Amino acid sequence: MAPPALRPENAIRRADELVSVGEPLAALQSLFDLLSSRRSRFADAATLEPIIFKFLELGVELRKGKMIKEGLYQYKKHMQHTTEGLNSVGAVARKFINLIEVKMANVQAQADAEEESSKGEADDDLEGGVTPENLLVSVFEQEQTVGGFNNDDTSAWLRFTWESYRTTLDFLRNNSQLEITYAGVVNRTMQFCYKYNRKNEFKRLAEMLRQHLDAANYQHQRYNHHTVDLSDPDTLQRYSDQRFQQVNVSVKLELWHEAFRSIEDVHHLMRLSKRAPKPSVLVNYYENLAKIFFVSGNYLLHAAAWEKFYNLYLKNPNATEEDFEFYSSQFILSTLAIQLDDLPIAGFDPQIRLCDLLDLESKPKRTDLVAAASEARVTEKADADILKFFEILETDFNVQSAKAQLSELLPKLVEKPYFAQYVTPLRNLFIRRSIIEVSKAQSSIHLVELHEMLSLPAPFELSVFELEKYLIQAAMDDYVSISIDHETDSVFFAQDPFDAWQASLVEAAESSTSNESKGSNIEEETFEDNAADDDQTEQVFTRNSEVRSKLTDLSKILKANEDYENGSYYYRVKLVREELIRRKEEVIKLEKEAAEIRAKSNAERKKRSEVENKIAAKKALEERQRRMAEEKAAVENSMEKEAERRAEEKIERERQAIHELEMKKLIEETNANGVIHIDLKEAKTITSEKINQMVIVQVAKNKKDLTERMTVAFKRIDHLERAYRQMELPLLEKDAQLQKSKDLENYENFKRKLAESSKADFEKKKALHERLNKIYGSFSKYKEAIVTEKKEELEKLRALKKSQLEEAKQQRIEQVRKERYDARVAEIQAEIDAEQAEKEALEREEQQAKRHAEREIANRERDEIARKQREIEELLEKKNSNGRTAYTPPRSSPAQSAPAQPAPEQPAPEQSAPASNKPMSMAEKLRLKRMNAGRG
């Protein structure tokens, strides 16, 4: 039987009543119970929507997040089986978010007076609560506020709003029918995090979205009911838009690590998508990627991202000249900020993976990006000062003239809004280039002279300590080889990298000699430790000797090259690295070929071992099958014996079980009678005879005890009743006298109060009568005046109404006369029409009767003609039959007797029926008509 129909207006009315009496929590609980009840399972969306809307309104007002979450999931469980139900689920989610945002906006408007304190608490974690860290920090704060203890109303509403967003996202996730609503809630959640500067919550949101996407992939592989299909272009586009929005918000919040992870998500979705992203989306993507690479210090990919951005921005029809000048100048500065990368690097470069984010097949080079920045499409739109700065540092770099040119140009560049962020990498580039040029031109220089050469006005100022740091960094990067003499404050530059290497070998040899001399004075340890030390020393010596010999061979080969001898230190290092990389590639190639040969031989050896293993496995299988057959026979024999033993035990157990069952049944019957109680556990050992004997003994004992107790009880009751009656008689008489006195006293009090109230009422009415007598004369005069005045008005009104009545009566009489005249005319016309119709009907009947009479006369004439014709035919038939009887011709052949056949006009046998006065049928009339036509 289906549950009764659900009436939402009753539930809402009940909730409003509870709210009106100050019980909103009870109203919320009643709506929640209704949503969780069995009746709600069979209700449709239109019935439950008003209830869930009222439930959400109360829940938001009371901030009952857990109850709201349970109610939403109950509603989704009831509605998720139909498309209309899922549409209703989306509408409920949107309603919930709207309520939350409106309430949060109101709370924020009320808290605008405390905006500074709200900003100070903006970095609190809405989910952190009380932690040891913020508890210790609160000790040293003046306000003594701890997250979770002294939260104000705004923070509580922020926490509730975040929990509501997270509940809604989990409520809508991974359902193809709710994708659009899910995407809208995601965007609104991101806007919430950005508006209120919720960085921790935004991180959790991004992680939650990744989990939802992973779960969508997993569920689509296992299930197929309303699951999210990422192969659908529209679905994938919606997820891509969410990730683009995530990147934008993370960049605005300066969450660079989260922005990079979001960029990776965007790139992954772009790979999956079959649609090409819109140019505006790609422009935003590359702009954010450039900001991320800049913050991470990767100026190479930062410039590559700006190049991608600028190439797309050139196609923007709405761009202005100021925009082109800004972005082209920033692209040039980002290209100049790339550090020198002319020296080749051996091994794996981790930046290659980052190049995939820019859709680059290989790592870009600084020279290529500088060439792209030098193109006319960039330089034509760039700022003139930036172009001049580019020419000084990149095109025509000269250490001697660069200082004067930059000193004049830097004050202008500082005023540019986009120049400040590139100050540090541009200064590093200028100093690195200057040091390399100085090392090419001079073998040594005074540190003060070098500092004066490289010192520039702000923001390119440089101290001596920073200059030494830049020198050491350049040497570490192998752009120069230096030695600093602090006694003379001089810097010496080496021109050959192998000279520096040999000097390092000499220093190493001297240090090892000194260590050996010191080690000889130390007391020798055990024999095993000395042997281990000798082995270790021999291994290091062998490895160093191999490296030294290879470097010596390399130096001999390169010194024979004319370019190496005439080149600078920087150029020589470049040649050395290229040669080392080439040799390393050859070694790797040889090792790869050897590995392939080893793999091939291993495959053949594996194949042979597999064949041998198959043969051995086959033999082992046969042996195992033989042993199994023997074991099977032994097991079957033992199983037969075991089966016989078990059969005997089973029969015995069944017999014991039957006996025990019968005894239990008998014990239960005995216990039910209540005579004696026997434990069911004794059913295995007891017998029926023993039970009967125990019952007889107990019955006799109970009967004897009952007789004794009844005798004693009767005596006790008799004496007790007599004592009760003797004691209560005087008490009853006393109580009757007391009750009589009380009744008399109550009657006198009532009589006295009634008299007093009647007298007081009389005095009030008398006073009122006297007061009214005083104004009675004035009242009478006023009444007469009013009556006279109203009488005149009444007479006038009566005359007016009488005239109106007479006029209405005349109009009504005329109307009735007209209606009667029209009715009489219509009646006369109807009578005329009826007479005319009757006359026409009579004429039609006369004509019909006349036609009927004519038809009767014609029929009788035709019948008479037919009768006469039949008589003629009968006479002819009789004449013919008499002629055939008088003469019988002799037999002849069919040809000879042919002329003697009757004439063709002889009538058929059916027409030789005897004549009668019966009228002819229609068929007879037709045959007669055809015969007459044939004769004619």
pLDDT above 80 for 74? yes
pLDDT above 90 for 813? yes
What is the C-alpha separation between 118 and 109, in angstroms, rounded?
12
Do residues 892 and 898 lie in contact, with contact meaning Cβ atoms separated by under 8 Å?
no
The tens digit of pLDDT for each residue in 370-392 reads 888 888 888 888 888 888 888 88
pLDDT above 50 for 550? yes
Beta carbons within 10 angstroms of residue 470's beta carbon: 17
Task: Report pLDDT for 445.
Answer: 83
Phi, psi dihedrals of residue 490, rounded to the nearest 5°: -120, 150
Task: Report pLDDT for 910.
Answer: 40
Nearest one of 500, 501, 533, 503 to 515, comparing CA atoms? 533
Q: What per-residue string of b and e applies to 341-362 under the rule 16 or more CB within 10 Å gives b?
A: eeeeeeeeeeeeebbebbeeee
Q: How far is CA 11 from the centre of its chain?
A: 29
Task: Report pLDDT for 561.
Answer: 53
Q: How long, in residues, is the chain?
A: 936
Task: Report pLDDT for 285.
Answer: 84
Q: What per-residue string of b and e applies to 763-798 under the rule 16 or more CB within 10 Å gives b?
A: eeeeeeeeeeeeeeeeeeeeeeeeeeeeeeeeeeee
The answer for 592, left when phi > 0, alpha when psi is -120 to 50, beta otherwise, is alpha
Most confident of 43-47, 109-113, 215-219: 43-47
Task: Report pLDDT for 530.
Answer: 45
Contacts of 396 (CB under 8 A, 6+ apart): none
Beta carbons within 10 angstroms of residue 799's beta carbon: 10
**3-class SS of residue 231:** coil
Contacts of 305 (CB under 8 A, 6+ apart): 286, 287, 289, 290, 293, 358
The tens digit of pLDDT for each residue in 317-330 reads 888 888 888 888 88
- Mean pLDDT, range 734-746, rounded to an integer: 90
Do residues 578 and 502 lie in contact, with contact meaning Cβ atoms separated by under 8 Å?
no
pLDDT-derived band at 812 (thresholds 50, 70, 90) equals: very high
pLDDT above 90 for 248? no
For residue 758 the two structure tokens come to: 């009647």
Task: Report pLDDT for 747.
Answer: 92
**3-class SS of residue 71:** helix
Task: Report pLDDT for 407.
Answer: 82
Nearest one of 588, 562, 586 to 575, comparing CA atoms? 562
What is the C-alpha separation between 108 and 192, in angstroms, rounded?
12
- Residue 337 class from Cβ within 10 Å (0-12 exposed, 13-18 middle, 19+ buried)? buried
Does an H or E element contain 446, and which?
strand 444-446
For residue 717 the two structure tokens come to: 């009751």
Task: Report pLDDT for 540.
Answer: 38
What is the C-alpha separation between 514 and 503, in angstroms, rounded?
17
Phi, psi dihedrals of residue 309, rounded to the nearest 5°: -60, -45
What is the C-alpha separation between 903 and 628, in angstroms, rounded?
115
- Which residue has better confidence, 1 or 208? 208
Reported for 860-865, long-range contacts at CB under 8 A and 24+ positions apart, including other chains, are 862/920, 862/925, 863/919, 863/920
- Mean pLDDT, range 474-492, rounded to an integer: 77
- Mean pLDDT, range 159-185, rounded to an integer: 85
Nearest one of 384, 461, 455 to 416, comparing CA atoms? 384
* Mean pLDDT of the residues in the chain: 77
Q: What Å distances lie between residue 755 and 554, 741, 742, 763, 769, CA to CA?
A: 141, 22, 20, 12, 21
pLDDT-derived band at 806 (thresholds 50, 70, 90) equals: very high
- Mean pLDDT, range 524-549, rounded to an integer: 42
Residue carrying the six token digits 């509870």: 18
Q: What Å distances lie between residue 673 and 374, 663, 686, 695, 698, CA to CA?
A: 114, 15, 18, 10, 12
Q: What per-residue string of b and e applies to 406-424 under the rule 16 or more CB within 10 Å gives b?
A: beebbeebeebeebeebbe
- Mean pLDDT, range 757-784, rounded to an integer: 90
Task: Report pLDDT for 133.
Answer: 55
Contacts of 664 (CB under 8 A, 6+ apart): 680, 683
What is the C-alpha separation between 415 and 422, in angstroms, rounded?
13
- Mean pLDDT, range 582-611, rounded to an integer: 84
pLDDT-derived band at 243 (thresholds 50, 70, 90) equals: confident
pTM over 0.75: no
The tens digit of pLDDT for each residue in 848-884 reads 999 888 888 988 888 888 888 888 888 888 877 765 5
What's 344's DSSP letter? -
Task: Report pLDDT for 883.
Answer: 54
pLDDT above 80 for 896? no
Task: Report pLDDT for 172.
Answer: 83
What is the C-alpha separation between 263 and 936, in angstroms, rounded?
116
pLDDT above 60 for 619? yes
Task: Report pLDDT for 552.
Answer: 56
The tens digit of pLDDT for each residue in 270-312 reads 877 777 778 888 888 888 888 888 888 888 888 888 888 888 8
- Which residue has better confidence, 205 or 37? 205
Phi, psi dihedrals of residue 483, rounded to the nearest 5°: -145, 130
Task: Report pLDDT for 687.
Answer: 81
What is the C-alpha separation between 283 and 261, in angstroms, rounded?
18
